[in-house]
Structures are given as structure tokens and as C-alpha cells.
């Protein structure tokens, strides 16, 4: 194959990609060394890297995308007029992967806003889970926040908790904590990061092959940021356990025999409590959420996503005691006073609210844990401060 000339004074030939998709590029080792500390180390005669010993030979980079590397080469060789003004989403992902791998994200600063802006509306859409990786590379809190929370809600967990290796590296999930005043310091940009986290957690699955897949059937191993997979799966596990605790707590409220009825109508009715409690118990039993030990139930629900389990719980029906009818002397039905109606006794609204609250904060915890990395990446792009 004929090499593509990138620099008139090129002294290296690089082969990017494999098989039919591979491309040869003639590049300047000086330009590459200035653009990337990783390339500088790899090409240094004293580095010990295999690439540095291939003098006057084609140097292979089989794992990289030829198209993405070509764009980065254009930038680092100052051929700015040839750099595309727009990128397809997959091209944007690949370019970010190259810059992440070779630590040269700072090169993208003049073009990044033009490339990112057209795709921002897709952050929370299924099939665009790679947004979390893009945001991770460019240190963008807003985008990261929008992509991760959707992930926590939809992970189906098969077999056992696994950590996904991204770009050949893997980090264990950090301890998910946040500062006491994190909520008060959060800005719109930080709020966006949480929403991004939810997107992946709500839509991806971990199959028996121990690979991570999106709801649209796309393999997400390379789309997830470093170590985020473990954090997302841990957040999903905690969310499922929390939902089960909420349901068990509701059953416990009705099972306690002492104290007045929970019926909200006047006068209160124990028969109403009995109907509501029976509806709840039978419904939870049909979902295998009750009765049983919390850990055992969590294990049996291993293949359920937070989103699916939440939907099933919210769909539970509730029978309430019929409101007694009153009649006029002429036999006409009198509309019952609001305080006498039993439709307010259903567990549905309050249970739904508690279930909705379960996953709130999970993505913020992940965001806080990884904020140091995001801050570092933003500084590389010239941003002096990052919102918490």
C-alpha cells in the first residue's frame, strides 16, 4: 500500500490498523514527539519500546483507528486547513480514544466545540453510551453527568460483578462518597454529568460472556471510561437492594399490629388496611421481592435492571376499601366528603416516590469520585476551573 504523506520532511512510516483497513502514513517523529508524551517515549532511542528499535522500518499500530489517527496527525503536523470541521459520532469517539491513549487531548481544543455541539442532544439516547467516554476524555462535567446516570438504571447483571477493561487499562471502582455540601455546590454543568451517568446504567447489560452491551446491542467494553464499569455495576447493585428494602419496609408498616390503622380516610378502617396490605404482599410476591432474605432476593434478581424492576413495582395494583355511600331521602347518591374517601389510602403514590428516589445521588457519587480526573483533562484543554 502506498503511504499517505503527512509531512514533507517525514522520517517515519507508521502502519495504523490491521488487514484491509490498515493505512500507512509518512510522519515527522519530531512533530509526534512534541504532540504526545507517549509518542515521545515510544520513539525515543533510550525508551526500550519496540517501536524505537524499528529504525527505517514500518512501525505498526494495529489497535488504532486509521481515520482517527489521520485526523490527529493532521493537527500535530499543523495541517489545520485539512482538519474536518465536523465529525460523525463514531469518528468523535475514535478521535477521543486516540487522544486518551496517547495523552494528547490538548490538540483538540480549537475543534472540540464544533465537533461536540451537533451531538449533545443524543447524550441520553440509547445507542450513544460512548458519550460517557467522550466526556471522560475531555473532562466535561456536563456531558459526563448526563451519560452516567442513565446507565445505573438499566444494567442487567448476569453471572457476577466484573470490571471492564477500557483501552487496555482497568481501575477498580472507587469508594462512592461525596462531600456533605456537594449538593449545594453543584452547578448546572455538574447536574449534567449525573444525568449522563444514568444513561449508561439504565441501558447496558452485562452478559454471561462478561462483556458489557448496550440496549441497542452494541458492545460497550471500549465505550466505558476507565473503572466506571465497576462503579456503575456497584451502583446498580445498591439501587436494587435499596428498592427491595423500600418494599419490605412498606410490608412491615402494615404487619405491625399495634397502633392505629394506616387508613387515611375518616373514620379509619382496619378493613382498608387489610385490603391494601394484601394487595402489596401479593404483588411483591409475584415479583419475587417478598418474602425472603435481602441478600438472597438481590441474588435472584441478578438479571433485572433497575429500570425494569422499578417499572414492575410501580405497576403493582392496589385494592382499597370502597367509600361508603350516603343517600338523600329521595334516594340520590350524596358525593362523599374528600376526607371520607379511601382512594387516598393506596400505597401507589408514596411507594412510587420512594422508588424514584432510590437511584438519585448514585451518579453524583460517581461524579465526585472521578472529579480529579475530569479536572485534569479540562486543564489540558485550557480550562482553569471545574464545577463540583
Q: Please provide the DSSP assignment of 331-374 as one string.
A: SPEEPPPGGG-SGGG-SHHHHHHHHHHHSTTHHHHHHHHTHHHH
> What's the confidence (pLDDT) of residue 162?
28
111: pLDDT strictly greater than 50: yes
Instruction: Let me know the angle formed at the C-alpha of 119 by 118 and 123, rounded to the nearest 5 degrees.
Output: 150
182: pLDDT strictly greater than 60: no
Lowest model confidence (mean pLDDT) among 19-33, 75-89, 236-250, 254-268: 254-268
pLDDT band, very low/low/confident/very high, at 150 (cuts 50, 70, 90):
low
Closest CA to 172 of 227, 226, 210, 220: 227
> What's the confidence (pLDDT) of residue 236?
79
> What's the confidence (pLDDT) of residue 262?
81
Q: Is 20 exposed, middle or buried (0-12, 13-18, 19+ CB in 10 A)?
A: exposed
Lowest model confidence (mean pLDDT) among 12-16, 204-208, 283-287, 336-340: 204-208
* CA pair distance 205, 131, nearest whole angstrom: 17
Give the rounded distance of the alpha carbon of 334 from its chain centre: 53
Residues in the chain: 388
* CA pair distance 76, 196, nearest whole angstrom: 31
Amino acid at each position: 500500500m502506498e503511504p499517505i504523506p503527512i509531512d514533507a520532511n517525514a522520517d517515519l512510516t507508521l502502519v495504523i490498523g490491521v488487514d484491509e483497513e490498515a493505512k500507512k502514513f509518512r510522519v515527522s517523529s519530531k512533530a509526534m514527539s512534541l504532540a504526545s508524551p507517549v509518542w515521545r517515549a515510544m520513539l525515543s532511542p533510550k525508551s526500550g519500546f519496540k517501536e524505537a528499535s524499528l529504525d527505517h522500518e514500518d512501525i505498526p499500530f494495529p489497535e488504532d483507528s486509521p481515520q482517527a489517527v489521520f485526523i490527529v496527525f493532521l493537527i500535530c503536523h499543523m495541517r489545520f486547513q485539512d482538519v474536518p470541521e465536523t465529525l460523525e459520532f463514531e469518528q468523535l469517539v475514535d478521535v477521543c480514544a486516540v487522544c486518551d491513549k496517547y495523552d494528547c487531548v490538548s490538540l483538540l481544543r480549537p475543534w472540540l466545540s464544533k465537533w461536540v455541539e451537533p451531538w449533545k442532544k443524543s447524550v441520553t439516547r440509547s445507542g450513544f453510551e460512548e458519550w460517557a467516554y467522550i466526556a471522560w476524555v475531555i473532562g466535561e462535567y456536563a456531558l459526563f453527568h448526563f451519560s452516567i446516570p442513565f446507565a445505573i438504571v438499566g444494567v442487567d447483571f448476569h453471572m457476577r460483578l466484573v470490571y471492564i477493561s477500557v483501552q487496555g487499562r482497568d481501575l477498580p471502582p472507587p469508594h462512592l462518597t461525596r462531600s456533605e455540601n456537594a449538593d449545594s455546590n453543584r452547578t448546572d454543568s455538574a447536574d449534567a454529568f449525573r444525568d449522563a451517568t444514568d444513561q449508561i446504567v439504565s441501558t447496558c447489560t452485562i452478559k454471561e460472556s462478561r462483556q458489557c452491551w448496550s440496549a441497542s446491542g452494541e458492545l460497550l467494553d471500549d465505550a466505558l471510561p476507565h473503572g466506571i464499569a465497576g462503579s456503575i455495576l456497584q451502583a446498580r447493585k445498591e439501587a436494587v437492594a435499596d428498592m427491595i428494602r423500600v418494599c419490605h419496609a412498606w410490608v412491615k408498616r402494615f404487619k405491625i399490629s399495634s397502633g392505629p390503622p394506616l387508613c387515611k380516610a375518616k373514620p379509619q378502617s382496619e378493613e382498608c388496611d387489610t385490603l391494601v396490605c394484601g394487595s402489596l404482599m401479593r404483588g411483591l410476591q409475584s415479583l419475587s421481592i417478598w418474602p425472603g432474605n435481602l441478600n438472597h432476593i438481590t441474588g435472584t434478581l441478578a438479571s433485572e435492571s433497575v429500570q425494569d424492576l422499578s417499572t414492575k413495582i410501580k405497576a403493582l395494583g392496589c385494592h382499597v376499601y370502597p367509600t361508603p355511600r350516603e343517600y338523600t331521602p329521595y334516594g340520590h347518591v350524596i358525593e362523599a366528603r374528600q376526607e371520607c374517601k379511601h382512594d387516598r389510602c393506596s400505597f401507589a403514590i408514596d411507594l412510587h416516590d420512594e422508588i424514584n428516589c432510590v437511584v438519585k445521588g448514585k451518579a453524583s457519587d460517581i461524579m465526585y469520585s472521578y472529579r480529579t480526573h475530569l479536572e485534569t483533562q479540562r486543564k489540558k484543554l485550557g480550562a482553569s476551573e471545574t464545577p463540583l
